[in-house]
């Protein structure tokens, strides 16, 4: 049996509350056990940058600046203005979610403009980090930590 990987990259339109259709680019980012569904709306707010994660602004969702910077990296690399990003993140921890969001944003930006692919790929923003937590093995305390040995 062949295993196939499925990368979800969409270009859709969403109906707003006023009846207008808004164009957005959708992509999925993953890291460890975190999954982030990203919707990128170009030119929704003129002159403003806004990232909303699970209904909360970025500053309220991530309390530390390290995770906020991780999420902003693709936009700073391309020096983009005027964007609205809506994210649904689930699973994992804070760092895993931040890196999953970064991957999703990068994939959505490549859908918007394929020329940006080389710059984002060079920095590693388009690569899914495959590292996962190793399972616990029988007879050990953790994945690799053995029982403590005592002489007496």
Q: Is residue 139 part of a domain?
A: no
Q: Is residue 131 part of a domain?
A: no
Q: Is residue 96 part of a domain?
A: yes
- pLDDT value, residue 20: 61
Q: Where are the beta strands (DSSP E) in 32-70?
A: 34-42, 49-53, 56-57
pLDDT surpassing 60 at residue 3: no
pLDDT tens per residue, range 33-66? 999 999 999 877 677 789 999 999 999 999 999 9
Mean pLDDT of the 122-145 span: 95
Q: Is residue 113 part of a domain?
A: yes
User: In sequence order, which ranges of the chain are alpha helices (DSSP H)?
Assistant: 58-61, 65-78, 94-112, 117-122
**Domain interval for residue 16:** 9-122
**Cα-based distances in Å from 100 to 1, 44, 53, 56, 76:** 29, 23, 12, 17, 17
For the entire predicted model, the pTM comes to 0.82
Q: Is residue 89 part of a domain?
A: yes
- pLDDT value, residue 106: 96
Q: Is residue 65 part of a domain?
A: yes
Number of Cβ within 10 Å of residue 41's Cβ equals: 19
pLDDT tens per residue, range 63-111? 999 999 999 999 999 998 888 999 999 999 999 999 999 999 999 999 9
């Amino acid at each position: 049996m062949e295993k196939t990987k499925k990368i979800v990259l969409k270009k859709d339109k969403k109906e707003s509350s006023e009846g207008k259709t808004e164009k957005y680019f959708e992509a999925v980012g993953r890291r460890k056990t975190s999954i982030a569904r990203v919707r990128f709306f170009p030119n929704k707010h003129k002159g403003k940058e806004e990232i909303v994660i699970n209904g909360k602004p970025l500053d309220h969702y991530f309390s530390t600046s390290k995770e906020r910077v991780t999420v902003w990296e693709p936009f700073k690399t391309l020096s983009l203005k005027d964007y609205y990003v809506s994210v649904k993140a689930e699973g994992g921890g804070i760092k895993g979610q931040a890196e999953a969001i970064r991957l999703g944003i990068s994939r959505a930006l490549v859908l918007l403009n394929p020329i940006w692919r080389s710059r984002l790929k060079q920095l590693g923003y388009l690569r899914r980090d495959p590292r996962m937590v190793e399972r616990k093995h029988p007879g050990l305390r953790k994945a690799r930590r053995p029982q403590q040995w005592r002489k007496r």
